[in-house]
Structure 1
């Protein structure tokens, strides 16, 4: 799961889900229009074509590129990955996004839908992104300190 939960990270997930649900072209086999490609568009403000062109400078899909990622390579695609990591995503998060595979996210999806999900279906990607954002948002809420004036019953219920 994500190493640094933040409002900008959650907003990036929500913005990506909204764009995918309403307008954006989706193509799982295209490095700039797939699951990670769409998130990269949101985070970096690069176009799908720019991301795809960067990715072609080295071999492999997102999973392979994340394995081969080197922060000092100087490759434009590694700089794209840098921006995503700086926002708080981990390489494991991005690998899981490409295959909709994070168990912590999937458990938040109703069983019937979870078992029918396919990593290359737009609606399933949108659901995964929204569920992930909801999960991270709940983690932020749970981490907030209770106000000093909180009733003792509330403190006990929160513990």
Structure 2
């Protein structure tokens, strides 16, 4: 699963909010699909620019991520590089495209179920659940001593 970090969590939540607020969505369009909308949230690129850059490669986001070559410096590699820089792996990119990471699906409110890859509401739910999982993972790495918590409560009551 992706590297849990605040940039990725924020990007997922921002993308979900943009979609909820009516951002253009079209699963079959590299610039307006699941990954395209995520890229719009983490770059200054428009959906048209993302589409043009994605078309310098061959295939869907899954194939683009698997064939990504850091040395080519082609525009599509810039897009994949940006997704990887925020903590995603090629597997994560594939799972975002098809909404199929089982850890995310198991964590859905109401339990495991398959989502439709091209349904806006399902994409929003997937991004929000993915962000929640990453946030839990990130918070679990933060060491908090019980004594510190008790000290804060005692001093705030004084």
Other-structure match for 2:138: 140
Separation in structure 2 between the aligned mates of residue 44 and residue 108 of structure 1, nearest angstrom: 28
| Contact map agreement 2:105 2:112 (CA 8 A) in 1 | no
Superposed CA offset, 1:101-153 (max 9, x none): 101101011457723x20000000000000000011111111110226258xx
Query: Secondary structure in 1 aligned to 2:143?
Result: coil
Pairwise mapping of residues 1-159 of structure 1 onto structure 2 (< 5 A)? 1-2=1-2, 4-110=3-109, 114-115=113-114, 117-147=115-145, 149=147
Moved over 6 A (4+): none
Q: Which runs of 5+ in 1 are unaligned?
A: 152-159
Query: Alpha carbon RMSD of aligned pairs, Å?
Result: 1.8
Which secondary structure does the structure 1 equivalent of 2:113 belong to? helix
Partner in structure 2 of residue 155 of structure 1? none
Counterpart-to-counterpart distance in 2, 1:85 and 1:104: 19
Measure, in 2, the Cα distance between the counterparts of 1:86 and 1:55. 17
Q: Which runs of 5+ in 2 are unaligned?
A: 150-158
**What's the TM-score, normalizing by structure 1?**
0.88
Assess, with a 3 A threshold, how the Cα gap between structure 1 residues 112 and 7 changes in structure 2: closer, same or farther.
Answer: closer
Contact 2:68 2:77 in 1 (8 A): yes
Q: Is the 8 A contact 2:27 2:33 kept in 1?
A: yes
